[in-house]
């Protein structure tokens, strides 16, 4: 397993890449600590533009967050490592701090249309059926993880046994790495991505 916090220099710009475990409340505190230590002038989040807009709206006017069956199963497994909450605490904290300090914040994941088009292209009806049936298996499965990062990798491996879903995640990693590689703004940039996507993104960075 890779370190969840890595410093890099790309095109003369200093980056701190942080791999977050979605939903873990303690990750929000970790983000605050990184801000105080690293003092970024720009933030990149591994979420879609629409999700970023949703977090900004949530801060202004909190609303009930819709939770999928998979997110419920994820949370039930993750809660043995600490309190779990949505919206994702690490991303929410980053947006809150960016607004407080007036920092530039960018989404680097596929937007909803790009993801929808990719999903339609990669996921067959048979794959969708397998994905739906897998829920019961995941609910019963025991993940013998020693920490939340290990659990996130185990979970990701289970989901991505279906080739179409694995190809979608690879495309997401390529897109996020491309956004980082092509960036020429800012001097100190904090990048927050899901821990299970971190290794794939790092492999595609040019430094």
Angle subtended at Cα 128 by Cα 127 and Cα 134, rounded to the nearest 5 degrees:
90
pLDDT digit string (tens) for the chain, length 207 residues? 899 999 999 999 999 999 999 999 999 999 999 999 999 999 999 999 999 999 999 999 998 888 999 899 999 999 999 999 999 999 999 999 999 999 999 999 999 999 999 999 999 999 988 888 888 788 888 899 999 999 999 999 998 998 999 999 999 999 999 999 999 989 999 999 999 999 999 999 987
Q: What is the pLDDT of residue 104?
A: 96
The pTM of this model reads 0.95
Please tell me the distance from the alpha carbon of residue 202 to that of residue 205, in angstroms, as a whole number.
5
Determine contact, residues 24/13, Cβ cutoff 8 Å: no
Domain boundaries, the chain: 5-111+173-203
Highest CATH level, class, for 5-111+173-203? alpha beta
Determine contact, residues 79/140, Cβ cutoff 8 Å: no
- Backbone φ, ψ for residue 188 (5° rounding): -135, 110
């Amino acid at each position: 397993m890779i370190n969840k916090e890595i410093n890099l220099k790309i095109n003369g710009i200093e980056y701190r890449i942080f791999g977050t475990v979605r939903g873990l409340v303690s990750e929000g505190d970790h983000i605050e600590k990184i801000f105080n230590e690293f003092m970024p002038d720009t933030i990149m989040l591994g979420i879609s533009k629409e999700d970023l807009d949703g977090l900004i709206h949530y801060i202004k006017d909190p609303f009930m967050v819709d939770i999928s069956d998979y997110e419920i199963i994820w949370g039930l497994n993750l809660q043995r490592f600490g309190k779990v909450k949505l919206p994702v605490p690490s991303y929410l904290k980053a947006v809150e701090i960016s607004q407080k300090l007036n920092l530039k914040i960018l989404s680097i994941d596929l937007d909803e249309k790009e993801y929808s088009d990719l999903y339609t292209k990669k996921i067959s009806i048979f794959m969708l059926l397998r994905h739906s049936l897998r829920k019961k298996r995941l609910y019963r499965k025991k993940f013998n993880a020693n920490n939340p990062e290990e659990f996130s990798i185990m979970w990701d491996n289970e989901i991505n046994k279906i080739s179409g879903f694995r190809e979608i995640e690879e495309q997401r990693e390529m897109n996020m790495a491309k956004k980082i590689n092509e960036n020429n703004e800012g001097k100190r940039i904090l990048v927050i991505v899901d821990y299970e996507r971190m290794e794939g993104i790092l492999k595609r960075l040019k430094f």
